[in-house]
Amino acid sequence: MTKAEKKTQMDNTETENTHAFETDVSRLLDIVANALYSNKDVFLRELISNAADACDRLRYEAINNPALKEKDEAFGIHIAIDREGDKLMIRDNGIGMNKEDLIENLGTIARSGTAAILENLKSSGKPDDMSLIGQFGVGFYASFMVAKTVEVISRKAGDNKAWKWVSDGRTGFSITEASKDEAALLNGQSGTHITLNTKPDAYDYLIDDKVIQIVMIYSDHIDIPVYLDTKEKDADQPINAASALWTRPKSEITDEQYKEFYHHIGHVFDEPLLTTHWKAEGVIEYTGLTFIPSMRPWDLYDPQRQHSLKLYVKKVYISDKVDNLLYPWMRFVKGVVDTQDLPLNISREMLQNNPVVSKMRSGITKKILSELDKLSRDDEPAFETFWYQFGAVLKEGLYDAVEHRDDLFKVCRFRTTDKTGTLTSLADYIERMKDGQEEIYYISGDNADSLKKSPQLEGFTARGLEVLLLTDTVDEFWLQMVTDYKDKKFRSVTKGQVDLNKFDDIKDDPAQSDEDKAEKQKTSASVELLRQHLEKILKDDVNYIRISKRLTESPVCLIAEDGSVDMHMEKVLKIQQNYDPTTKRVLEINKDHALIKKLAQMREENEENPVINEAAHLLYDQAMIIQGETIPDPAGFAKRMADFMTKGLST
């Protein structure tokens, strides 16, 4: 439904001034009212956070349109308490909201993140699973934890009408034009005035010390001053530090303060996994304060998702939509960057191709990658959490940004066939390479456990050669662009020829008799004849058949030819792009397998034996199935299988 359709629907069913909440909002409010947080204090954090955002937005808009800031009064957030009337009031002189904004922002779940929480709650089937929702925060609606009713008076900068939004937080809300007295609460400026009519059990929040304490804990880092007014007059000293956190020296900031700041700017409520606060000095100067979340955001793979690093210029918030400020493969990073080296009144369009912005991006990327590298050495469990959450996204950088590739490889981790089962870096893999090994072996597929059982790995495993198990779709893509690491070529074990014999130090066994040797030669000659025979039978299915150097246990496997599309890549392409492969695969047969030997013998006795024909098709189908492919003629396969089983059982 579009916004306009939604609106007409509301207007049809409701009177002009009253609106029912959307189902999702009602549900959310229900959850909120039923003690969402064990800690109700956070409602104030949410309201202050919104007020500060509103001030930031007006400050930015007013750079190019100074008339929007009507009075020459500093930005501020004022809290007032009416103990007798059971009211708590919060006022800001920020951007304000018009009628549509009020409906859209406070009457629907505008934030897609909140909608996602609800989805999660629905699908978890546990509507009381508050631990989950507690990690997200519900913004404005948190006020209904402590308020029976909430009244919002707001006037948008540049408008002359003020509006009043009232709700009991259950059924819906009403919107009317604010009276003169009500509008006067805004103190002759644009902005928002919120009144909470508190519940009887929320009496605590009408006590000065309690409010001061909450502001100190949650809102100390906010750049806008927060005041606690008395009935008689506005306070003249703010109760928070009112200086942007990133401008303070690191030594004066506690972990708790960093965390609260992360919650405020990130609109998320998990613990930051990695906090990086630095000042870059050089050609371009800027301060960065970035966070890597410990939880993956729900829309990490949504193609619409953009990064949300906020750009400030000389402490003035500019935008969180400057594409070039951060690579898409770092889109999980939250934080702020503040620079002196851009003009304040730069337009958003001009920011997109700005060289200063690109240089900052490069610096930010380097810094974060080096901090991650450090984390991998200092705190392995934390690093692993990071890698499982965001590794696949970060790997997009391997093909996207050549200049950061080396640093990226330092933090990339891979599963391998190594027995320990831990993740490995490429540097460590190279350390463990066998004498004579010049390539980095890998196999790619959907799932590490089934990959480990691939027949193509047999010869490698038998010789103690370690193979990387690549299971992210993105792996296929960077491997198209990146051919080597530290002069070692990446080499797929499901593609082309491999020479594994050089790893065998089997010398000619002097004890071996001449008869044995003759016998061996005879077998290989007969397997070669079988190979040619099978090739004729399967000429429509495979390009050619080859005696395998990589199989030790299975009778057959499929291989992609050198220069053609690799096995798993082909599967990915088929799914994503309707790809129709042009080259057929190579079938490898294991000359030492009993089944192959037996077939070779049968062919020698009677070249026309129809069993060989059936067996050829079965072997091919089997190789396809192991590869996770659908076989061309399942009914034919089943019939042949049944015939062979019957024969097997009746002897």
When the beta carbons of 266 and 397 are compared against Mg ion, the nearer one is 266
Angle between helices 208-218 and 42-64 (to 10 degrees): 60
Taking CB within 5 to 8 Å according to partner kind, which of Mg ion, ligand ADP, none is near residue 471?
none
In the complex, the smallest distance separating the C-beta of residue 321 from ligand ADP, rounded to whole angstroms, is 14
Distance, C-alpha 372 to centroid of its chain: 16
Please report whether residue 546 would count as binding ligand ADP according to CB under 6 A: no
Is residue 46 part of the contact set for ligand ADP (CB under 6 A)? yes
- Residue 92 binds which of ligand ADP, Mg ion, none (CB < 5-8 A, kind-dependent): ligand ADP
Alpha-carbon distance of 236 to 254, in angstroms, equals 27
Tell me, residue by residue from 86 to 105, as one string, x for binding to ligand ADP by CB under 6 A and - for no binding: ------x-xxxx-------x
Q: Quick check: 335 binds Mg ion (CB under 5 A)?
A: no
Cβ atoms of 198 and 88 within 8 Å: the answer is: yes
Q: Does 139 bind Mg ion (CB under 5 A)?
A: yes
Quote the DSSP letter at residue 146: T
Least distance in angstroms from the C-beta of 119 to ligand ADP: 17
Q: Is 606 exposed, middle or buried (0-12, 13-18, 19+ CB in 10 A)?
A: exposed
Among 29, 50, 493, 585, binds ligand ADP (CB under 6 A): 50
* DSSP three-state, residue 102: helix
Closest CA to 375 of 366, 386, 383: 383
Choice between 54 and 408, CB closer to Mg ion: 54
Closer by beta carbon to ligand ADP, 57 or else 259: 57
| b/e sequence 62-75, b meaning 16+ C-beta within 10 Å | bbeeeebbeeeeeb
Nearer to ligand ADP, 50 or 548 (CB): 50
363 forms part of the interface with ligand ADP (CB under 6 A): no
User: Residue 50 or residue 287: which is nearer to ligand ADP going by CB?
Assistant: 50
Least CB distance to ligand ADP at residue 375 (A) = 29
Could you tell me the smallest distance in angstroms from the CB atom of residue 194 to ligand ADP?
7
Which phi and psi (to 5°) does residue 287 adopt?
-115, 135
- Of 108 and 473, which has the nearer Cβ to ligand ADP? 108
> In whole angstroms, how close is the CB of 15 to ligand ADP at the nearest point?
23
Residue 157 and residue 61 in contact, taking contact as beta carbons nearer than 8 Å: yes
Residues 212, 251, 74, 166, Cα dihedral to 10°: -40
DSSP secondary structure letter of residue 223? S
Q: How many residues does the chain have?
A: 651
Name which of 45 and 69 has its Cβ closer to Mg ion. Answer: 45
Which residues lie closer than 8 Å to 43 by C-beta, 6 or more apart? 142, 143, 145, 146
Q: Are strands 334-339 and 308-313 parallel, antiparallel or unpaired?
A: parallel
C-alpha 293/C-alpha 281 separation (Å) is: 26
In this chain, which stretch among 45-53, 306-314, 346-354, 625-633 interacts with ligand ADP, using CB under 6 A? 45-53
**Binding letters toward ligand ADP, positions 176-195, x by CB under 6 A:** ----------------x---
Number of residues forming the site for ligand ADP (CB under 6 A) = 17
Residue 500 corresponds to which tokens in the numbers above? 């594994």
Q: Residue number with the shortest CB distance to ligand ADP? A: 139
Do the Cβ atoms of 589 and 464 come closer than 8 Å? no
* 266 forms part of the interface with Mg ion (CB under 5 A): no
Contact positions with ligand ADP (CB under 6 A) in 263-292: 267
Hey, which residues between 113 and 152 contact ligand ADP (CB under 6 A)?
Answer: 139-140
Shortest spacing between CB 156 and ligand ADP, in angstroms: 8
Kindly tell me which of 36 and 469 has the beta carbon lying closer to Mg ion.
36
Q: Are 631 and 641 in contact (CB under 8 A)?
A: no
Angle CA(102)–CA(105)–CA(107) in degrees, nearest 5?
75
Q: Least distance (Å) from Mg ion to the CB of residue 441?
A: 50
Piece in contact with Mg ion (CB under 5 A), picked from 81-89, 137-145, 252-260, 565-573? 137-145
In the window 205-264, what residues touch ligand ADP (CB under 6 A)? Answer: none
Does position 175 interact with ligand ADP (CB under 6 A)? The reply is: no
Distance CA 387, CA 375 (A): 11
* Buried b or exposed e, range 503-541, using 16+ CB within 10 angstroms: beeeeeeeeeeeeeeeeeeeeeebbeebbebbbebbeeb
Cβ(137)–Cβ(265) below 8 Å = no
279 contacts which partner out of ligand ADP, Mg ion, none, CB within 5 to 8 A by kind? none
Q: Tell me the window of 2-10, 49-57, 435-443, 507-515 that interacts with ligand ADP (CB under 6 A).
A: 49-57
CB 303, min distance to ligand ADP, A: 22
Q: Kindly write out the interface string for residues 438-467 of this chain, putting x where it contacts ligand ADP by CB under 6 A and - elsewhere.
A: ------------------------------
Q: Rule CB under 6 A: say whether 415 interacts with ligand ADP.
A: no
- How far the first Cα of the chain sits from its last, in Å, is 69
Closest approach of Cβ 127 to ligand ADP, in Å?
A: 21
Is the Cβ of residue 50 or residue 454 nearer to ligand ADP in the bound state? 50
Site string for Mg ion, 23-62 (x = CB under 5 A): --------------------------xx------------
Q: How far is the CB of 267 from Mg ion (least distance, A)?
A: 6
Sheet with 585-589: list strands edge to edge: 542-547, 585-589, 556-559
The helix or strand, by DSSP H or E, that contains position 198, with its residue range, turns out to be strand 191-198
Q: Is 295 exposed, middle or buried (0-12, 13-18, 19+ CB in 10 A)?
A: middle
Which stretches of the chain bind ligand ADP, using CB under 6 A?
Answer: 46, 50-51, 54, 92, 94-97, 105-106, 110-111, 139-140, 192, 267
The residues binding Mg ion (CB under 5 A) are: 49-50, 139
